[in-house]
């Protein structure tokens, strides 16, 4: 079982809608959770991180963490075509010396 | 100038050749990582180093070796390249003691014929 699971997509949403991306993880000792955006052929870039239960907002992005249910999500409000990319969930856990474990990513397509 | 640089950016090599990918950073971070990315498989950790004298294998270290020459430099070697090592390789850095946010280099696209 992969430690960090994401639906590969593609997730298609119309421009202006809310995109909801989900991620589950298996290590209950995980401490920090990250969302990266990756455009095709480019390197991942950090969107935001969260480490406490609840919501964390940054502009159009909101990360949500529920440690009891072991899931983390990313909401993108007012989605734009430029948000079309692959979104990677990463978890800082105990099983690789506190290096990050990455999910395979969810492909998001925002249609005009 | 970019904080994390990788050389070369693209490389074509033949089966059995030894090649080295280099990573340098000016962020002053103590931790460095090497990942490979294959289509549909996400990022897989090859090796990571928490300081110059602390190097650890990741989930797919077979066929690879690394060298941490200095805090700012971390090299990945393929001793005898094989076609299934064709992939996109990323170096990343992070700073200990905080949230361990990782910052990625631009990547090296490797093709093994």
Q: Which of A26-40, A90-104, B73-87 is least confident?
A: A90-104
Whole-number Å distance between alpha carbons of B16 and A109: 40
**Using one digit for the tens of pLDDT, what is the confidence trace for A69-81?**
999 999 999 999 9
pLDDT of residue A29: 84
When the pLDDT of each residue in chain A is averaged and rounded to a whole number, the result is 92
Predicted confidence band of residue A101 (pLDDT cuts 50, 70, 90): confident
Closest listed residue to residue A89, CA positions, set A48, A42, A43, A57: A48
pLDDT of residue A86: 95
> How many pairs of residues across A and B have Cβ atoms under 8 Å apart?
53
Q: What is chain B's length?
A: 113
Evaluate whether B92 touches B27 at the Cβ level (below 8 Å).
Answer: no
Q: How many CB atoms lie within 10 A of CB A46?
A: 15
Predicted confidence band of residue B29 (pLDDT cuts 50, 70, 90): very high
CA A103 to chain B, closest CA, distance in angstroms equals: 6
Chain A within 8 Å of B50 (Cβ-Cβ)?
Answer: yes
**Using one digit for the tens of pLDDT, what is the confidence trace for A1-21?**
568 999 888 999 999 999 999
Chain A within 8 Å of B26 (Cβ-Cβ)?
Answer: no
Looking only at the bridges linking them, the beta strands covering A11-14 and A106-111 are parallel
Predicted confidence band of residue B41 (pLDDT cuts 50, 70, 90): confident
Whether the pLDDT of residue B1 is over 60: the answer is: no
Whether the pLDDT of residue B27 is over 80: the answer is: yes
Predicted confidence band of residue B59 (pLDDT cuts 50, 70, 90): confident
Nearest CA in chain B to A40: B39
pLDDT of residue A98: 64
State whether A99 and B33 contact (CB < 8 Å): yes
Q: Which of A97-111, B49-63, B70-84 is least confident?
A: A97-111
Residue B58: helix, strand or coil by DSSP? coil
Chain B within 8 Å of A99 (Cβ-Cβ)?
Answer: yes
Chain A within 8 Å of B56 (Cβ-Cβ)?
Answer: yes
A1 or B113: which leads in pLDDT: B113
State whether A97 and B56 contact (CB < 8 Å): yes
> For an interface test with A, which of B43, B88, B91, B92 has the most A Cβ atoms less than 10 Å from its Cβ?
B43
Average pLDDT over residues B97-111: 88
């Amino acid at each position: 079982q992969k430690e960090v699971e994401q639906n590969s997509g593609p997730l298609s949403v119309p421009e202006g809608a809310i995109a909801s991306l989900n991620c589950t993880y298996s290590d209950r000792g995980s401490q920090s959770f990250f969302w990266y955006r990756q455009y095709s052929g480019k390197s991942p870039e950090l969107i935001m991180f969260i480490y406490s239960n609840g919501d964390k907002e940054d502009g159009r992005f909101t990360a949500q963490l529920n440690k009891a249910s072991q899931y983390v999500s990313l909401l993108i409000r007012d989605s734009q075509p430029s948000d079309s990319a692959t979104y990677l969930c990463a978890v800082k856990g105990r099983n690789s010396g506190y290096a990050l474990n990455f999910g395979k990513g969810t492909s998001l397509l925002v249609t005009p | 100038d970019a904080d994390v640089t990788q050389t070369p950016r693209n490389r074509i090599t033949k089966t059995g050749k030894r090649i080295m990918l280099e990573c340098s950073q000016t962020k002053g971070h103590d931790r460095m990582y090497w990942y490979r990315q294959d289509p549909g498989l996400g990022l897989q950790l090859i090796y990571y180093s928490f300081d110059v004298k602390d190097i650890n294998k990741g989930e797919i270290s077979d066929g690879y070796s690394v060298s941490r020459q200095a805090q700012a430099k971390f090299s990945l070697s393929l001793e005898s390249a094989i076609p299934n090592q064709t992939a996109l390789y990323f170096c990343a850095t992070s700073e200990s003691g905080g949230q361990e946010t990782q910052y990625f280099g631009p990547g090296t696209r490797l093709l093994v014929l």
